[in-house]
């Protein structure tokens, strides 16, 4: 025992003996896509299904502006800081630290709404990240926000009490919302075979824009993640234990405000790469309740089980289980096809399937295309949390696909970038069950709706955006865009004609295309 403890201490000390500017990549889809492309250009063999990803997994970042270490020294200080560098950089022998502001100042108008005033987002925050020694990474960020959203987003917020992906809200003015976000994590690459991460943030499992297994759709959560590598890095096994909660109050006890129902998320993923172009993964996710209705705290030891697929096989009726499969194949250097499949082991008819294709430098350099199709059967007790205390969700949002379940969706994104200019256009076309409109808050709960699996309404969302990126280190950009949403003849899922302009640092996904 003493010998093992001594070895651990020596390992920690040695981890400070050298310095490396490895950083954790944000989950923003455009940055993940750039990472996939850079790995293909390099010919790197990287397990990329489970994000966040890390800079030290790439042999070169020459075509990846966000991760390039800038060496330009002939610009004046303002030019360097505004166009190329982090705002504050501390670079010492055993510590590398950066500090940057995070902001989103946007304003717009909904042309289809003659009642609401100007729509806006006012976000101010700070992000600090760095490296201690060679193998310890840390990051922390805090954002304070006020916003007024299009009506369909306001409807969701009023019904669920959260801003999508951003947590609980408090009223600021009439349909203006005030909310805050705090995230932090520390990651230690203990050896070439083990990386340990602890923090309060999010994860994403997949190769595309959407995922049916695990996404960053919901609010951040405390979690412990362990990545194990075997068989000369061909196998990667991830254990992820998360503390989640439903926004359902327990009976009021001695505290001034009753607590929310808590639960544990145990996510296991085994990834196998027979070669650098093919990735095959098996996933299991289990939600285990930790608080009963009578406020008695239960703890299921199964939550700590590290053995793959054991929890679904136990088939405890109190658990919500999801098992799945993911596959990716780099069919050529600039193109990849991918697929995901998931099902509920207690009901084999509750299945979901996602297939996708992404390509870079299509026809001309800088033109990228993503095409995805998702089919999800009805599974009211597994994905969407409305009025369900134990579900595959966190903070009233699905941990799987953004739309929850019971839908078909086609997603197409085409974006073109030339130097610092970028143009993006995307289309979401979805068939959604009419019952889902009530679960999302678009139809009042008192209205009686007959469940009919063939009763669908289509939803169309078109996004266009033109942006100029000033600083790739923080994705600081000015952008103008237009969003159109229609949903059936009576717009049962809401509608908008949102025209906006923004000055922002774009580092996080926020899925408002629902």
Domain boundaries, the chain: 2-505
In 3D space, the residue among 280, 283, 374, 364 whose CA is nearest the CA of residue 330 turns out to be 280
Q: Give CA angle at 187 (186, 189), nearest 5°.
A: 155
* Mean pLDDT for the stretch of residues 201-206: 96
Token pair for 260: 């929310």
Question: Looking at the predicted structure, is the pLDDT value of residue 11 above 50?
Answer: no
Residue-wise pLDDT tens digits, 443-480? 766 555 555 445 678 899 999 999 999 998 899 999 99
| DSSP character at residue 210 | -
Of 186, 251, 195, nearest to 228 by C-alpha is 195
* In the chain, % of residues over pLDDT 90: 53
Characterize 221-250 residue by residue with b for buried, 16 or more Cβ atoms within 10 angstroms of its Cβ, and e for exposed: bebebbbebeeeeeebbbbbbbbbbbbbeb
CB 415 within 8 A of CB 425: yes
User: What residue ranges in 56-135 does DSSP mark as E strands?
Assistant: 88-91, 95-110, 119-132
Span 253-262, mean pLDDT?
69
Strands (E), 276-396: 278-289, 320-332, 335-344, 347-359, 367-376, 393-394
- Percent of the chain's residues with pLDDT above 70: 83
pLDDT attached to residue 75: 61
- When mean pLDDT is compared across 18-22, 234-238, 468-472, the lowest value belongs to 18-22
pLDDT at residue 297 in the model: 54
pLDDT of residue 504: 96
Report residue 76's pLDDT band, with 50, 70 and 90 as the boundaries. Answer: confident
Average pLDDT value for the chain: 84
Report the CATH number of the 2-505 domain.
2.40.160.130
State which H helix or E strand residue 80 sits in.
helix 77-83
Please state, in angstroms and rounded to a whole number, the distance separating the CA atoms of residues 181 and 303: 27
Q: How confident is the model at residue 255 (pLDDT cuts 50, 70, 90)?
A: low
Residue 164 and residue 510 in contact, taking contact as beta carbons nearer than 8 Å: yes
Confidence class for position 253, pLDDT limits 50, 70, 90: low
**What whole-number distance in Å separates Cα of residue 239 and Cα of residue 302?**
13
496-509: pLDDT as tens digits: 999 999 999 998 89
Q: What distance in Å separates the CA atoms of residue 9 and residue 15, rounded to the nearest whole number?
A: 10
Q: Residues 161-190: what's their mean pLDDT?
A: 88
Question: pTM above the 0.75 mark?
Answer: yes
| Nearest partner of 175 among 146, 132, 213, 196, judged by Cα | 146
- Is 441's pLDDT higher than 80? no
Do the Cβ atoms of 340 and 179 come closer than 8 Å?
A: no
Strands (E), 345-455: 347-359, 367-376, 393-394, 397-398, 407-418, 421-433
Instruction: Give pLDDT tens digits for 346-403.
Output: 777 788 999 999 999 999 999 999 999 999 986 544 445 444 556 888 998 899 999 8
Q: What is the mean pLDDT of residues 14-42?
A: 75
pLDDT bucket at 46, cuts 50 / 70 / 90: very high
pLDDT score, position 13? 34
């Amino acid at each position: 025992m003493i010998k093992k403890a001594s070895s651990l201490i020596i390992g920690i000390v040695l981890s400070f003996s050298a310095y490396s500017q490895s950083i954790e990549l944000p989950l923003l889809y455009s940055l993940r896509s750039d990472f996939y492309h850079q790995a293909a250009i390099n010919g790197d063999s990287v397990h990329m299904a489970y994000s966040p990803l890390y800079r030290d997994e790439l042999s070169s970042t020459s075509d990846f502006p966000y991760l390039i270490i800038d060496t330009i020294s002939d610009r004046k200080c303002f030019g360097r800081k505004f166009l190329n560098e982090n705002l504050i950089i501390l670079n010492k022998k055993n510590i590398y630290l950066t500090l940057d502001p995070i902001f989103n100042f946007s304003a717009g108008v909904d042309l289809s709404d003659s009642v609401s005033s100007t729509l806006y987002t006012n976000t101010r925050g700070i992000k600090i990240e760095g490296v201690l020694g060679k193998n310890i990474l840390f990051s922390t960020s805090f954002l304070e926000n006020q916003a007024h959203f299009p009506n369909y987003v306001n409807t969701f917020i009023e019904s669920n009490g959260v801003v999508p992906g951003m947590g609980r809200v408090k009223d600021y003015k009439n349909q203006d919302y005030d909310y805050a976000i705090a995230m932090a994590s520390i990651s230690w690459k203990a050896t070439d075979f083990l990386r340990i991460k602890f923090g309060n943030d999010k994860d994403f499992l997949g190769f595309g824009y959407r995922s049916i297994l695990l996404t960053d759709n919901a609010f951040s959560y405390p979690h412990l993640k362990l990545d194990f590598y075997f068989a000369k890095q061909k196998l990667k096994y991830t254990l992820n234990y998360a503390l989640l909660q439903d926004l359902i109050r327990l009976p009021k006890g001695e505290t001034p405000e009753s607590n929310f129902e808590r639960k544990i998320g145990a996510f296991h993923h085994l990834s196998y790469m027979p070669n650098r172009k093919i990735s095959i993964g098996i996933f299991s996710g289990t939600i285990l309740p930790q608080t009963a209705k009578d406020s008695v705290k239960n703890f299921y030891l199964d939550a700590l089980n590290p053995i793959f697929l054991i929890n679904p096989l136990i088939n405890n009726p109190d658990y919500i289980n999801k098992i799945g499969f993911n596959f990716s194949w780099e069919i050529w250097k600039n193109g990849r096809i991918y697929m995901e499949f998931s099902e509920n082991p207690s009901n084999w008819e509750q299945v979901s399937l996602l297939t996708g294709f992404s390509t870079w430098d299509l026809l001309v350099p800088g033109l990228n295309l993503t095409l995805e199709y998702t089919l999800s059967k009805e599974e009211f007790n597994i994905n969407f949390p409305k009025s369900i205390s134990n579900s595959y969700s966190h903070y009233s949002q699905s941990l799987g696909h953004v739309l929850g379940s019971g839908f078909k969706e086609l997603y197409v994104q085409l974006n073109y970038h030339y130097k610092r200019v970028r143009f993006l256009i995307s289309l979401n076309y979805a068939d959604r069950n009419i019952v889902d409109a009530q679960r999302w808050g678009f139809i009042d709960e008192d209205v009686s709706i007959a469940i009919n699996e063939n009763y669908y309404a289509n939803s169309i969302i078109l996004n266009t955006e033109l942006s100029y990126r000033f600083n790739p280190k923080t994705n600081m950009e000015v952008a103008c865009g237009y969003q159109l949403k229609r949903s059936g003849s009576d717009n049962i899922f809401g509608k908008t004609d949102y025209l906006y302009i923004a000055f922002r640092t774009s580092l996080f996904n926020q899925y408002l295309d629902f």
